[in-house]
Amino acid sequence: MGPNGSVTIGCKNRYKLVDNKYLPEHTISCLTGLCRLWVLWFCLAGTICIAQVDNGAARPSNQKAPGDSVAAVYPTTVIEPKVDSATKVRDSLFYTTLKQKMYRHRLTRELYNAFIHDVYNSSARAEEVNVIEENPFKSYAGKVIGTIHVRRLGVFGQSVYDTLRRPHSWFERFANRVHTNTREGVIRRSYLLFREGDLVEPDLLRDNERILRNLPVFVDARILIVPREGSEEFVDVYVITQDVWSLLADGSVGGLDRFSVGLEQRNVRGLGHTLKTQFFYNKVDPFQKAEYLARYTVPYIGKTFLTAQADLMYLRHWKQFSARVFRPFLTPDTKYAGSLELGHYKIRNRLLRNNQLDTAAFFPISYNYSDVWLGRSFKMFFGNPQEQERARLVIAGRLTRYTYLIRPEVGADTNQLYQNSRTTMFSVGYSQRQYVRDVLIYGFGRTEDVPVGSLISLVGGVDNAELGERLYIGLNLSRGQYIKKIGYLYTLINAGTFYRAKKQEQGLFSFSTNYFSPLVAIPWGHMRHFFNARLTLGMDRFNNEYITLSGREGIGLTNDALIGTKRLLVGYENVLFSRLNLIGFRAAFVTFANVGIISFNDRAFFQSPLYQAYGIGVRLRNENLTFNSFQIRLTWYPNIPNNPYAFRTAFEGIPTLRLRDFDISAPSIVPYR
């Protein structure tokens, strides 16, 4: 790997990731432009676009895709926006002239580099809308891996699609020098599923690429295979990773007597470890003036792919001391998975009487918790030959224990949730999963691996509880797939219940579905529609067991009145991923609507009020930073009880969401949440 991002084989062949020369595109950088964008966005958000850009046929293997010189290795399809060429030429001349004038002086040159990204002469991540239709490693199956080269890119400037790019401004260059990249030895020892001398397994390499992208230390990753000159048996493998900016500060100040400070380092000394700490102080708090939390995580210890995590929380209503070691089914070829967890918890829980908020009271609870599980996967030897390689039968067992030290009075009809218990569970399941590479779903340009497949799992067990032994049986079904020209649809059905003396306890049925439309290219960027629905029905639940419609995962507003035992929530969202680029922060404009019903079992469900929320917002995110996406939103809540302000604004950080996978984990009781 050459210093300029090129790959050299012998002294003849040279492979480069070449800058994509884009024609100029309109950059909205003034208030007038923003207003026009909002008007267009509102017009488009009300309807689902029928006219879509043709995904196109796969390019010939010898034709390079825009911004990606490795397209000869990766057969891809590319979605390209249509932009008026006259507008391109006009804006290109404008920004070229502006750049020439501002580059005459050092101060104005630095201002130009800091605030304006030269999208006309560099690869814009918004255009890297590629979907791998076929596994690019299949043509090398069975060949011997010769040399493994690891190329670590800086946080800013370069990308796995264009290693020749350079940081635009002095700030980006300074940040790259300050940041410590993930050590090459760590990548080789802990993050790679293959070694030099192994035979090329196409599915294994593709899974490894996905695993690298999902690690919190990387914003993106790519694996390339290059034939070795003069050899038909050996190939060389290039692993290209780009670190994310790993240091994140957090905090707030309400005065000298009320403040919080926090720090998160996602890549301690380049080892890939994560350390998160936060301190809170409130002098007038009657319960606890100082609060503290810390978490340390060590991912993928050597080739064991075990992850270790320790938590310390000393908060107002929650105290936790716990440690956990776990290994998931990272790939279908992973034979064993499991975890061991030990913890001590002290919680101030809110207890309701007769499901009435005005009779709620806080009560201290303290307990010890232990959990261990182990699973084994087996290859399938029947079914569809194309899916057989990615399908597995998984058998697992689990033992969980709760031992309460402090609790309210427990009886046959009082506070049953806090009884001592030892639960033994077993599961047998079928999992079939593949992944399709896509972008601009929940991320702002990073590569996203969309799970496609299905899962069926049957769970059974015995709960040796304090109030008597009881049996548990549960069923989990899920399916996710791309539907041609329609979009991606995911569906999940969960059902489970306990039985004690032939009577049902803590029964639950839940149904959820998520959908997003194909990506539509428009002159102002790319747009998707999102739809989700969740139905949760609790049956014969214990007292003080309830779910809520409030919060970020509900209707969006925290309200203690929105509680019950059964819930229906439906949400719609239109997202326009714009071309705006403010100092590396991409902007997305959002229109959303959420409606929901929540009720207790002793009340008619569909006669309950239909709670509503409608709003608009803008999200900002720099994928090279560990910061959450910043969101500014305006929401109208027309009928939320005990809400004096129908219109509410919020400035908040929202974590990056991920799509549900189809890997089978520990046998578990269907969560009631």
Of the CA atoms within 13 Å of residue 28, those in its CB half-sphere come to 16
pTM, two decimal places = 0.71
What is the predicted pLDDT for the residue at 510?
Answer: 95
What is the predicted pLDDT for the residue at 611?
Answer: 94
What is the predicted pLDDT for the residue at 530?
Answer: 96
Mean pLDDT, all residues of the chain: 79
CA gap 643, 640 in Å, rounded: 6
% of the chain surpassing 70 pLDDT:
77
What is the predicted pLDDT for the residue at 124?
Answer: 38
Q: Of residues 637 and 61, which shows the higher confidence score?
A: 637
With beta carbons less than 8 A apart as the criterion, state whether 478 and 489 touch: no
Mean pLDDT of 462-488: 92
Low-confidence winner among 109-123, 421-435, 463-477, 504-518 (lowest mean pLDDT): 109-123
Q: Which helix (H) or strand (E) holds 481?
A: strand 468-483
What is the predicted pLDDT for the residue at 163?
Answer: 67
The contacts of residue 11 (CB under 8 Å, 6+ apart) are: none
What is the predicted pLDDT for the residue at 481?
Answer: 93
For residue 245, pLDDT beyond 90:
no
170-178 and 106-115 helices cross at what angle (nearest 10)?
Answer: 70
- Distances 504 to 457, 538, 540, 593 between C-alpha atoms, Å: 21, 11, 7, 37
Q: How confident is the model at residue 310 (pLDDT cuts 50, 70, 90)?
A: very high
| Nearest alpha-carbon partner for 216 in 655, 583, 664 | 655
Q: Of residues 12 and 488, which shows the higher confidence score?
A: 488
| Nearest alpha-carbon partner for 421 in 469, 349, 387, 389 | 469
**Tens digits of residue pLDDT in 164-210:** 667 767 777 887 888 888 999 999 999 999 999 999 999 899 999 99
**Tens digits of residue pLDDT in 2-53:** 434 443 333 333 333 333 322 233 333 333 343 334 433 433 343 333 333 3
For residue 71, pLDDT beyond 50:
no
85-102 and 106-115 helices cross at what angle (nearest 10)?
Answer: 140
Low-confidence winner among 92-101, 118-127, 521-530, 627-636 (lowest mean pLDDT): 118-127
DSSP code, position 459:
E
Residue 191 three-state SS:
helix
% of the chain surpassing 90 pLDDT:
40
For residue 122, pLDDT beyond 90:
no
| Nearest alpha-carbon partner for 496 in 461, 469, 472 | 472
